[in-house]
């Protein structure tokens, strides 16, 4: 979902954290490891069922999680596990940035990597670097970098103009 909405949102986007293919591969590998452990340790299948179900659920979880971005006239809201609201008055600048989920952040989700903090989603090769006035910054994945950038820069300029009046 993106674009304008009736709730005062200037921009919104919802991104999947992990690709379903990678999720299925990790699930298959996990089950294979359990099968090998069962054979080597001579463990019955029935005693392993709870562990196999746990692995299946934990493997599917990243494919179901999303990063939600919402921009209003007053704040930028980012939600993954819990929400983070950044008042626009706390944002110094924003810029579109290329990144590699694996090289720069070590994967998908809420990550701390060599480029700092990131809310990293699958399938997005660009992100919005949010630089805060307190010197901190973080990256948010986006599949619509130009639209996100123009929306946030417009509202930052508008708020700055209002503050000067």
- pLDDT tens per residue across span 50-65: 877 887 777 777 667 8
Range 11-16+65-164: architecture per CATH: Roll (2.30)
pLDDT for res 130: 97
d(CA 10, CA 44): 56
What predicted TM-score, i.e. pTM, was given to this entire model? 0.73
The confidence band for 11, taking pLDDT boundaries of 50, 70 and 90, is very high
Cβ atoms of 139 and 130 within 8 Å: the answer is: yes
3-state secondary structure of 17: coil
Q: Which two tokens mark 65?
A: 């999680």
The pLDDT > 70 percentage for the chain reads 93
3-state secondary structure of 31: helix
- The upper half-sphere exposure of residue 155, i.e. CA atoms within 13 Å in the direction of its Cβ, equals 22
pLDDT for res 159: 80
Q: Domain map of the chain by residue range?
A: 11-16+65-164, 20-63
d(CA 5, CA 110): 26
**What is the 8-class DSSP label of residue 138?**
E
């Amino acid at each position: 979902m993106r674009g304008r909405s009736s709730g005062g949102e200037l921009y919104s986007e919802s991104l999947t954290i992990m690709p379903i293919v990678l999720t299925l591969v990790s699930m298959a590998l996990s089950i294979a490891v359990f099968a090998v452990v069962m054979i080597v340790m001579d463990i019955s299948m029935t005693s392993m069922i709870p562990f196999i179900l746990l692995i299946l659920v934990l493997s599917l979880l990243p494919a179901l999680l999303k990063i939600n971005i919402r921009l209003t006239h007053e704040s930028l809201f980012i939600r993954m596990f819990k929400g983070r609201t950044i008042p626009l008055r706390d944002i110094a600048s924003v810029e579109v940035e290329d990144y590699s989920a694996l090289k720069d952040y070590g994967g998908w989700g809420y990550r701390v990597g060599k480029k700092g903090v990131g809310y990293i989603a699958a399938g997005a090769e660009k992100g919005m670097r949010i630089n805060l006035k307190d010197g901190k910054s973080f990256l948010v994945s986006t599949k619509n970098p130009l639209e996100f950038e123009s929306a946030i820069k417009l509202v930052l300029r508008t708020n700055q103009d209002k503050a000067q009046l």
